[in-house]
Structure 1
Amino acid sequence: MHSAAPAAGRLRGDKGSAAIEAAIILPALIMFICMAIAGGRLVTSGSKIDAAAEDAAREASIHRTASSAQSAAHAAAAASLDDQGITCALTTVRINTGSLSVPVGQIGTVTATVTCTVPLSDLLLPGMPGARTLTSTATSVVDQYRQRGD
């Protein structure tokens, strides 16, 4: 019977150690998971903003006037972001339509730059910024033989 007494004494000394280990590890694990979610949100948002810039540039390149290209590109970028489920705290779309006025037979391009501020504050991660601004630029070629607007 003497041999069981030391083992029982050791077991009593380990009481509560699992709770202490969990208290130490759990916050670090939660922080790691939140950082992974934030990183995933930024990566997926970046690719979706790339797609929105490409959509805006393509839409602008098929219009004949700079004003119609501007409004169509803004609408295309907004629709693309909305379709992909991206909610931006602030969205900016800039279109360079200078090449729409080149003469027929010359190649022109339209460039769209979409900037989206992706919110991160809902993750409640200490030290994480409240938002991150992502920018993407895409260029689309204007058909060189297409009629130009006035």
Structure 2
Amino acid sequence: MSSASPPRERPRLRGDRGSEAIQAAIVTPLLIAFVCLAIAAGRIAISGGKIEAAAEDAARAASIERTESAARSAASGAAARSLQDQGIHCASTGVSVDASGLAAPLGQAGYVTVTVSCTVGLSDLLLPGAPGAKTLTSTFTSVIDAHRARQD
């Protein structure tokens, strides 16, 4: 006589039911937050590069002038134009010019150093409505031609 054995049932793992949904619910917001932080860091870095370009433009404009007052005026105007052209909207802008190199004797190279600082609202950089602001600052030095005539 043959004995027939009953069919085997698969063991059920009741503790694993729904674990993928829980993992997704935990991981998804973390991934979204990470992506948002990466985008924010990238936008801040791009804005910093635009501030550097504005400082370079301002220093070059100041180094072409012959007097300190004209250099300060040219640097401020060039920085404002550069920031506007690049689409940077500053809540406050500061342009500091060291044009003492214009007083160097003829035959010696002088330098003009310009520092541009721009306070940008985080709502412009990150998401609309984001609170706070970030001040970005850049300094650039431009050489004055050693053999160019200068005024005292």
TM-score for both structures, normalised by structure 2: 0.78
Q: Secondary structure at the match of 1:70?
A: helix
Partners of 2:121 and 2:31 in 1: CA distance: 22
Q: Deviations over 1:117-142 (max 9, x none)?
A: 23324636xxx982222211111111
Specify every segment of 5 or more residues in structure 1 that has no aligned partner in the other structure, as ranges.
none
Partners of 1:118 and 1:6 in 2: CA distance: 63
Contact 1:65 1:100 in 2 (8 A): yes
* Regions of 4+ moved over 3 Å: 17-22, 121-124
RMSD of aligned residue pairs (Cα, Å):
2.7
Query: AA paired with 1:134?
Result: L
The 5 Å alignment of 1:59-74 reads 59-74=61-76
Q: Secondary structure at the match of 2:94?
A: strand
Partners of 1:34 and 1:89 in 2: CA distance: 23
1:83 match: 85
Among 92, 95, 118, the alignment partner of 1:93 is 95
1:109 match: 111
Q: Secondary structure at the match of 1:60?
A: helix
The number of residues matched between the two structures is 144
Among 32, 40, 51, the alignment partner of 2:53 is 51
Q: Does 1:21 align with 2:26?
A: no
Query: AA paired with 2:75?
Result: A
TM-score for both structures, normalised by structure 1: 0.79
Superposed displacement of residue 46, structure 1:
1.6
Q: Does 1:146 align with 2:148?
A: yes
Q: Deviations over 1:70-129 (max 9, x none)?
A: 1110111111122222222322110001111222222111000011223324636xxx98
